[in-house]
Structure 1
Amino acid sequence: MQALTGFTTIYASLAGLQVGTMLTQLFFFLVLIILLRKFAWGPLMNVMQQREEHVASEIESAEQSRAEAEKAQNEAAEQLKQTKQEAQKIIEDARNAGSKQEQEIIDNARREAEQIKQAAQNEIENEKEKAIQALQDQVGSLSVQIASKVIEKEISEQDQDKLIDEYIKEAGEKR
């Protein structure tokens, strides 16, 4: 056996490798791997898993925030659109109300003008009737005066024409 050991040692020393040291190093390497796996790799993987979950939750939170922001933006745009429509409707209503009020004012002014015109025509008609009545009264009184003078004296045709002309002049002056 010593010869075998000597042979491997010679063969190993020729190649620069020592099998015993290699086996010892392999054994300690495997122990180191087992220890690292148990004490370092497990906690490291847990930390990596937690980090991955944290990043995933942050991404999900960011997606939710983006979706909420988009929804809020859409709602704001819709509200703005509705506000513009309401403002346009208010402006249109104000225009219609202004036009209606303008038409009412014009109609009222026309009615008042018509009433004033009618009142003026009525007053003119009344004054005309009064003037005609006054003229008739004067003509009647002149006729009575002429008749009384004719009765008082008998006059010639020239005197009668003269009297009529005088009374007509008097009636014209009184007017």
Structure 2
Amino acid sequence: MQVQELVGIVPWTFIAQICNLFLQVYLIKRFLFKPINNMLAKRKELADAQIQEAVKAKEEAETMKSEYEQGIRDARNKANEIVAAAQKTAAVQSEELLKEAASQAAAMKAKAESDIAQEKRKAVNEIKDEIGGMAMEIAGKVIEREISEEDHAKLIDDFIANVGETS
């Protein structure tokens, strides 16, 4: 009969084992699963917070990048405006210099023409005097008489008029 006792179920032992199992499950759940679950929840919250911070940092970086790119575009536009203004200023200054040079050249030309005309009058007057003297000598030799001052002036004027018409 001892063999049967090994296989048989003793009700008080079975009840004690069931109570022991429930007690172990309760203790494991109370002192092991709850702290582990709490720790896992805290780690999950920490990971979620870090992910949120990373997303926020990424958005800020993208905002800064777009501001930086806008700043670069603005700087390029400003540089283009400065270059255009410098080109306009250079064109205006160039035009003014050309006008000033043209006016100086015209003034120099007018002065040169004035000087030429004055030299021409001076040369004509000198030639008149020389021609008048030569005409007097020639006339004196041809006529062999002395010419009065009036006749002399009239001959000079006639000669100059004839010379002026031929030249």
Deviation at residue 19 of structure 1 after TM alignment: 4.1
Structure 1 residue runs of 5 or longer lacking an equivalent are 1-9, 155-163
Match of 1:100 in 2: 92
Q: Does residue 72 of structure 2 align to residue 80 of structure 1?
A: yes
Once residues 94 and 18 of structure 1 are traced to their aligned partners in structure 2, the CA distance between those partners, rounded to angstroms, is 109
* Paired residues for 1:45-84 under 5 Å: 45-84=37-76
* Paired residues for 1:27-42 under 5 Å: 27-42=19-34
Match of 1:134 in 2: 126
Once residues 52 and 89 of structure 2 are traced to their aligned partners in structure 1, the CA distance between those partners, rounded to angstroms, is 54
Q: TM-score, normalised by structure 1?
A: 0.69
Deviation at residue 144 of structure 1 after TM alignment: 5.1
Of 57-66 and 28-37, the range deviating more from structure 2: 28-37
Letter in 1 for 2:68: A
Once residues 74 and 54 of structure 1 are traced to their aligned partners in structure 2, the CA distance between those partners, rounded to angstroms, is 30
Q: Does residue 107 of structure 2 align to residue 115 of structure 1?
A: yes
Letter in 1 for 2:54: A
Give the aligned CA root-mean-square deviation in angstroms: 3.1
Once residues 95 and 59 of structure 2 are traced to their aligned partners in structure 1, the CA distance between those partners, rounded to angstroms, is 53
After superposition, the Cα gap between the structure-2 partners of 1:18 and 1:78, relative to the gap in structure 1 and judged at 3 Å, is farther
Once residues 18 and 103 of structure 1 are traced to their aligned partners in structure 2, the CA distance between those partners, rounded to angstroms, is 123
Match of 1:90 in 2: 82
Q: Does residue 12 of structure 2 align to residue 20 of structure 1?
A: yes
Structure 2 residue runs of 5 or longer lacking an equivalent are 147-154
Identity %: 26
Once residues 9 and 109 of structure 2 are traced to their aligned partners in structure 1, the CA distance between those partners, rounded to angstroms, is 137
| Deviations, residues 48-73 of structure 1 (Å, cap 9, x unaligned) | 12101111111111111111111111
Aligned residues: 145
| Deviations, residues 70-114 of structure 1 (Å, cap 9, x unaligned) | 111111110111011012112212221221222122112212211
Match of 1:161 in 2: none
Deviation at residue 119 of structure 1 after TM alignment: 1.4
Once residues 113 and 22 of structure 1 are traced to their aligned partners in structure 2, the CA distance between those partners, rounded to angstroms, is 131
Larger Cα-atom Rg: 1
